[in-house]
Amino acid sequence: MAKNRSLHAASRAKKDEFYTQLYDIENELRHYRAHFRDKVVYCNCDDPRVSNFFHYFAYNFRLLRLKKLITTCYKNQQMDMFSRNDAERAIWLEYTGTENETAIPSLEDIATHYLQGDGDFRSAECIELLKQADIVVTNPPFSLFREYVAQLIEYDKKFLILGNKNAITYKEIFPLIKENKLWIGNTPMGRDLLFDVPADYAEYLVENKKEGSSYKIIDGVVKGRSQSAWFTNLDYRKRHKDLRLYKHYSPEDYSHYDNYDAINVDKTAEIPMDWDGAMGVPISFLDKHNPDQFEILARMTTTKIDEFNFGYPYINGKKIYARIIIRNKQRQA
């Protein structure tokens, strides 16, 4: 039993070493380009010699018209592309662009500084760097997601980060979504995100997990699969696009919950245009949420009841899937 617990603990730790693919970064970041002009970007959970976040911002520095790029690296000073945070000292890197015609950064263009501590984003040193930043972009440790977001909110930072999809149900995160202080990024939550993983964890996945569920093999390379989504407080165009509604309310088509005064809507596309009361919609609704069109009221996601959560929804005594409770602010007759 103790051995199994150790294996599970090691597995959870390795999930914090998922490296975001450049394709997914490019696909998401292209929707926010206007936000980055003359800004300081901070990637505070990134080994710059492995991180595709560093690669993206360094190679697109001129295109995005950035002011500065800062990255902090947890206990790592290796200069090869395969370092895995195992060195004695942590570093932070500063890049303000290059004068060469190709706009491709070289080692000489990147200022390297040593940190006194281990590079943890919670350390005083890293917080001082955070204070310099305008926008934070990274893939933080999922196990520390609540604490990581709390720090960003405390220091009033703009951000675009990856997290577990289930984070939308966290009692620390959902109020931020409800209050329009955090929302889902442009990439739909239903889209598969794959990650580069250390070789030993790739071996663990193949030996212990199911292909297609926990990992996929792409061109012979094992890619970790994670229930991930982008979280941000940067605005983008799609977020203000009205959801087209076509159905009308009728008691026969929409059941009421036993434990909350709201109707049940099984699919986002089936939200009735003429109902102005509360309604429960699938969590995937957040992909389509337009704060000008809808108001988020509550969640029904777990048995732990709090100010914003009223327990799993029930219809005629039967528990159904988790729901977000919303109201249409633009009801049509």
Q: How much of the chain, in percent, has pLDDT values that exceed 70?
A: 89
- Band of residue 11 on the pLDDT scale cut at 50, 70, 90: very low
Q: Work out the average pLDDT over 307-313.
A: 91
Separation CA 20–CA 18 (nearest Å): 6
Separation CA 225–CA 27 (nearest Å): 17
> Is pLDDT of 311 > 80?
yes
Give residue 13's pLDDT.
Answer: 43
Provide CB contacts within 8 A for 170, sequence distance 6+: 145, 146
Dump pLDDT digits (tens) for 183-220. Answer: 999 999 988 888 888 888 888 889 888 888 888 898 88
What is the per-residue burial (b if ≥16 Cβ within 10 Å, else e) of 150-186? ebbeeeebbbbbbbbbebbbbeebbbbbbeeebbbbb
Residue whose structure tokens are 């605005």: 235
Mean of per-residue pLDDT scores for the chain:
87
Q: Work out the average pLDDT over 87-104.
A: 81
Provide CB contacts within 8 A for 321, sequence distance 6+: 282, 313
Sign (positive or negative) of CA dihedral 39, 47, 27, 165:
negative
SS in 3 state form for 45-92?
Answer: CCCCCCCHHHHHHHHCHHHHCCCEEEEEECCCCCCCCCCCCCCCCCEE
Give residue 81's pLDDT.
Answer: 30
SS3 content of the chain, % helix, strand, coil (to 5): 30, 25, 45
Sheet order of strands, 91-95 included: 110-114, 91-95, 68-73, 40-43, 135-138, 158-164, 228-232, 183-184
> Is pLDDT of 244 > 90?
yes
- For the chain, state the CA radius of gyration: 22
User: Can you name the residues that pair with 309 across neighbouring β-strands?
Assistant: 299
10 Å CB burial of residue 228 (0-12, 13-18, 19+) is: buried
Provide CB contacts within 8 A for 196, sequence distance 6+: 18, 19, 20, 21, 221, 223, 224
> Is pLDDT of 3 > 50?
no
Q: Work out the average pLDDT over 304-313.
A: 89
Number of H helices, E strands in the chain: 8, 18
Separation CA 45–CA 73 (nearest Å): 6
Region of poorest pLDDT, from 27-31, 157-161, 292-296, 300-304? 300-304
Residue 119, SS3?
Answer: coil
> Is pLDDT of 80 > 60?
no
Give residue 47's pLDDT.
Answer: 72
Give residue 138's pLDDT.
Answer: 94
Give residue 49's pLDDT.
Answer: 66
> Is pLDDT of 84 > 60?
no
Separation in Å, CA 44 to CA 60, 121, 191: 18, 6, 26
Dump pLDDT digits (tens) for 116-171. Answer: 988 899 999 999 999 999 999 999 988 999 999 999 999 999 999 999 999 998 99
Separation in Å, CA 189 to CA 10, 29, 134: 27, 16, 26
> Is pLDDT of 2 > 60?
no
Residue whose structure tokens are 């990439």: 187
Give residue 330's pLDDT.
Answer: 86
Give residue 167's pLDDT.
Answer: 93
Dump pLDDT digits (tens) for 52-64. Answer: 999 999 999 999 9
> Is pLDDT of 109 > 90?
no
Provide CB contacts within 8 A for 233, sequence distance 6+: 158, 159, 181, 182, 183
**Higher model confidence: residue 89 or residue 16?**
89
Other CB atoms within 10 Å distance of the CB of residue 1: 5
Residue 249, SS3?
Answer: coil
Give residue 331's pLDDT.
Answer: 75
Other CB atoms within 10 Å distance of the CB of residue 298: 20
10 Å CB burial of residue 299 (0-12, 13-18, 19+) is: buried
